[in-house]
Amino acid sequence: MSYSDAPSTPDALAALPLRENLRGLSPYGAPQLDVPVTLNTNENTHPVPDEVVAAIRDSVTQAASSLNRYPDREFTGLRQRLAEYLGYGLTENHVWAANGSNEILQQLLQAFGGPGRTVMSFPPTYSMYPLLAAGTDTSYLSGLRGPGFSLTAESAAAQVAEREPNLVLLCSPNNPTGTALGLDVVEAVYAATESFKGMVIVDEAYAEFALAGTESALSLLPGRPRLVVTRTMSKAFALAGARLGYLAAAPEVSDALRLVRLPYHLSAVTQATAIAALEHYGVLLENVEDIKRQRDRIVEGLKGIGLEPAVSDSNFVFFGGLDDAHATWQALLDRGVLVRDVGIPHHLRVTAGTEAETTAFLDAMADVIGRLDHRSPQPFPTTDRPARS
C-alpha cells in the first residue's frame, strides 16, 4: 500500500481525534506570493549588512564545530547581551529567550494559562493571540476598544477588573493599527490585576520603530513581578529568518518558563547568530532610521491622495478611507505590490520597506485611487493619541 501525494482534506482532518477547541480553526498565515514588492508581513525588507553577515558566518562556523553536543541550555551569554542591549539596569536574570516572540508568548500561556484559565486582549490586535490561546487550551476574552481603535487607561482597567483574566496581552505598538499605548494604560491594567494576581504582558515587537518620546514598558518593571515585556529580533534586527524572541521580567518569570520549555530549545546556531547580531546592533539599527523615514513618507503620501493613515509607531502603516479594501488590495497586487488585508472594513496595512519599495507602493496606490475611487465617505476617527512630529 502506497501513500497518496495529495494534500489532506478537511474531512480527513475532521476524522482525527482533534481537541474540540481546535476544530474549525485556521492556521496563522499571510499570503506568500512571488511579486516584485512584498510589503505584507512587516518584515525588515533591508538586507542584513555585509559586516553583520560576515560576523554571523564566523560565529555560526565556530558553533558548528561542536554541534555534536547539546547547546547551552541556559543560553547565558545570549541573555547577558540581550540585557546589555535593553538597558534599564536589567541583567541576564531578567531576560529569557525562545524561537521567536510567538514561542515566548506560548511559553507564558503554558505556564500561566491553560484549561480553566483565561487570557484577555483588545482586538483588533495581533491575530496570533487567540490562536496561541487555543493551542494552550486557554479561554480567550476579547476586550473592547473605543473610537478609532483607541484604548484608554480607564476603559482597559475597568474591563480587566470586571473579567479578571489570568493573563492580559497588550500589544504596543499595536498590530495592525500601529499606535503605541501610553504607559498609563499599562500601569492601570497592572493595578487592576492586583486583587487576583493576573499576569500583564506588553508585546513590544515593534518598539525600536516608535516615534520620538514614546516610552517603553521596560521602565515599569521594577516592583511589578507580574509584568512582562516581550521583544523580537525579527523586525529591527532584520533577523526574521533566525527566529529569536525574548522577554524582560522579574527573574521568577524565567523560572516559571523553565518548567514548560522544551529541553535545549535554543539551538547553538540560533544562539551564535543572535549573539553576533547583538555585537553589531548599531549597524543593524541604522536601517531602522531609514525605515522610519519611509513610514513617514507613506503617511504623508496617503494623506495626499485623500486616505486616512493612522499614527504609526511601527514599521508599517494602517490606513483607512477605502470603499472596498479587498478590491484595492487586489488592484495593488495586479500592479506587483503585495500589502496586507487584515479583514477590517475600509482598511489595509502596508509595511514600510526600502525607498524603492515605498515609491513603488505609493505610485501604485495613487494609480489605483486615480482609476477607481475606492475612498469611503467615513473619515478615520481619532487614534490612540494625537499625531506627533
383 domain-assigned: no
- Report the pLDDT value the prediction gives residue 4, as an integer from 0 to 100: 64
CATH number reported for the structural domain that contains residue 191 in this entry: 3.40.640.10
Q: Determine the Cα–Cα distance for residues 385 and 311; give it in Å rounded to an integer.
A: 8
Residues 319 and 267 occupy one common structural domain: no
Residues 138 and 229 occupy one common structural domain: yes
**Final residue of a structural domain among 279, 299, 314:** 279
- Report the pLDDT value the prediction gives residue 205, as an integer from 0 to 100: 98
Residues 65 and 119 occupy one common structural domain: yes
Residues 41 and 171 occupy one common structural domain: no
- Is residue 75 left, alpha or beta, with left meaning phi > 0 and alpha meaning psi from -120 to 50? left
Residues 121 and 159 occupy one common structural domain: yes
Residues 196 and 59 occupy one common structural domain: yes
Residues 202 and 310 occupy one common structural domain: no
- Report the pLDDT value the prediction gives residue 1, as an integer from 0 to 100: 58
18 domain-assigned: no
193 domain-assigned: yes
**Final residue of a structural domain among 253, 279, 305:** 279
Residues 169 and 212 occupy one common structural domain: yes
For 302-359, how does the pLDDT look when each residue is reduced to its tens digit (9 = 90+)? 999 999 999 999 999 999 999 999 999 999 999 999 999 999 999 999 999 999 999 9
CA dihedral 241, 92, 285, 108 (to 10 degrees): 50
In DSSP notation, 294-335 reads: HHHHHHHHHHHTT-EEPP-SSSEEEEE-BS-HHHHHHHHHHT
Number of domains making up the chain: 2
Helices (DSSP H) in 76-176: which residue ranges? 76-86, 101-112, 128-135, 153-163
- Collect the ranges in the chain with pLDDT lower than 70: 1-5, 372-389
201 domain-assigned: yes
267 domain-assigned: yes
- Report the pLDDT value the prediction gives residue 373, as an integer from 0 to 100: 59
261 domain-assigned: yes
Amino acid in the structure at residue 69 = R
Residues 211 and 90 occupy one common structural domain: yes
Residues 300 and 366 occupy one common structural domain: yes
Residues 262 and 289 occupy one common structural domain: no
- Report the pLDDT value the prediction gives residue 2, as an integer from 0 to 100: 63
Residues 67 and 120 occupy one common structural domain: yes
CATH number reported for the structural domain that contains residue 343 in this entry: 3.90.1150.10
19 domain-assigned: no
Query: What does the radius of gyration of the chain's CA atoms come to, in whole angstroms?
Result: 21
Q: Determine the Cα–Cα distance for residues 119 and 216; give it in Å rounded to an integer.
A: 22
Domain assignment of residue 301, given as a range: 29-48+285-371
246 domain-assigned: yes
